[in-house]
Structure 1
């Protein structure tokens, strides 16, 4: 009884019946209550709907010089809101109408972008001019593009200073950098002269507006002012110091509002009357008695159908689930070869396929784990054996701990330390704990630093090491990790390039990525070995000793560092001619995670 009670079939059937009963009960209740509730909700939403219609038409008028073409907007609004919408001129001439029935007796509101109705737009500006009416202040595409680039640089600067930042666009198309919790030092460090300076379009419009304002002020016997881009103002010289600014605040504000209306009048649609009405009759609040009978009958049919479908579906689900359970139990007992036959389709079939993929992945991971344990023990055995042998020889008096022997033992210890450090680097990358500290990096400077650091080893090996960068590419990256990755490639090139050879570091920009190439004229890599060069502990010559071949972890670390920067590393080689390793890194990767 307990097994039956907890089986998937019983629980699924009970859940389906419960859901069906609840759904039917809720449907019956909602049917009886829905009509009156819908009416109340419609009444509550009337003001919201009217506000949205008015705001949409205000936006159209603020961005168009006339009402020509507004018909489609009116029809779309009427279709979405269910309201009858009509626009006429102040003289009553029709502009657009979503219905051909007579107009209501009185208009609902006057749609005028230059004199916004504050009852429908509570947050309207003090001058009652719609902020979307920008007229001659609208930036050209070239100006918007230039300012957007400057704003993006400001965002990058703010984020480097530990500030969250974003770009905000004004109705005229002018971007600005928004820093929610900015401090004075961050604002000063990331200020942009480009963003703070009006464009040619804005200067021309601002001069015209300044002229209109001062003409109004002079006509009233007031002092002239100079407007800034944000419409703040200062008195134009000369101005008596003893005259307080506050005395002229109201006249300036009034003249500024009238001047803005005069300047914008040619760019916005004229005032229009908006008529709003209902396009459908109100729904009935009563539920007929015949409807109750239909609801009850439908409820019984739905209940029977739900039970039948639940039995069929649950029976089909149980069979593959049991197979998955048996395979999972085998895997839990250590059988990593456990698989299930995929017979079902849909979610259960996808679950079976996912289980098989997981099983195959675990089997591969187990094989890789065993291989890595073997490789690590092999890499550590030789230096440890050398240390033990020499120490025991010194202990037995067979060998003397002279400076040369001590130097040799220290070299073996450094080799062990190098292997352990490389393994720790790879372990951090595998665990997702490899932390990056991104900052703008100049590729030319980076390659010059790396070349300088490795030139001594290259000269000692009889090699020519050069660095060249096309243009002046830069990217956002962790300079320490990037130097480590390129340095590993240079060290690899020094190992496998015979005396008289050349090693070239090259940097360039291509398709939004920075390409860093390390090319050598060394022995090259056979084509069949190229897919394995970034594997851990891989060596082309298995008999090669560590002093010439390293630990086999350097290129694996390069791949992990490239992937941490959302980039890639690739290799191309011709045996006997040389090898080229290429790091391909995005210019502005998202390294916040």
Structure 2
């Protein structure tokens, strides 16, 4: 039965594809406009970032050098990396370095004269003692660059000594639980120990904390300069700490923090001036643009072109979607037809697999399901026949003996009653086995788990089957493993499972053979193995030994006895206990059945 047109997969795919295409085209147009605007904003932002980068590099150069000698190489590198023209001049606009003129003699103001004219206004003033916060993006109140240290720069020997002391403190602090200490180096070369969250005095070192000789001299010079400035303004002197905090000395203690800060700032500039490069003007030129970005044109010809492109995209989308939809629907219709055939009872219904995509995989799964259903139907038919046979045999025997007794052919003595009782017990055994299997299939097989002594349970099974084994001329023995202990199991069901394995082994072992029960335990499982020296199982039959009503002999005779349900019950009981059972066999030599259960109980000591 075909689906209605508006519910067809082709129509749905077509509608979805058209919607996606329209949305994609609209989104592309919107994205093009937004991208253009964003590109312009990014270009502006990049220009600001480049200006800040150039300025920072030149300020760092000025803070660590006494003059601009050799700055041309830095200017050329910044120009290459940013794509801007970089020009550095003195305050009276004499050239120091120009990325557009390789003939500039840095510091002399001479060049080839091939430079383009500079704008009237400089981009910034490069002065390590007066940093332009608007260009550098600095948020601090101190406008003196932190890299300008002047006379506070430590000697090589002092740096080596303080670095060793700092590392020793770090090693000491890292021994405190929860503390992670690290070192950082100040611009003047002094190491600093950072230990977040630690406020104690352990691992302190006076030598590391107090100023070095170089710092003490520079600090004394700065004290003098600040004191002179304060004295000129009618205030008393102060004493500066290494971190440039101050305390008053003398009778006239200054109370105006702003006055002290002003004098400290001017004193620092005076002290650092000989150690930094003189202030210079910075000019940053924009790179040449190949062409200006044209605005988005919505003229009539462009609108016509856009409509043509949109129509082409929609037409292509419709064609591709219809083609793909038909290719998808064809195998789905075949699957629907095969499913209706299977519903009508045709278990041979199959679908041709034409691809390896999702539809092809669906067809494979459908064929597997069809084969599995056919196999289940075959097994069901065989099981019904096997059950009828197993029930008919003892019933026929009982009826035959009763009719013979009724006709006077055989006397109704104890022998007859015993024979009838034996057939009745066999009939009850078959019914009980079927009931157990039905309960296991329905998930209604209830277990009453208690700690069971494994060795004792095995001895009980051997005792119960000793008479039958002796009668068959089979030696039945158990090898008691060391430390078997207990296992959490239903003792009745576990005894039934082991008994079925032993009964099966005795039944298929000829006179003079041996059936051996072995058991051992590890940390995970308890293993019970039943080995016999019978005729074994053919390799092709081994996978079916746990199937219901399956026997190695193909005929329905009772040459070896049994209902064909014992091993199937063993498998279900093992699974119900959370374990497993396996079979191994060498044809002509014997078989080994191994029952594995979770080692939930205690180990015998």
TM, length-normalised to structure 2: 0.48
Q: TM-score, normalization: structure 1?
A: 0.49
Higher radius of gyration, 1 or 2: 2
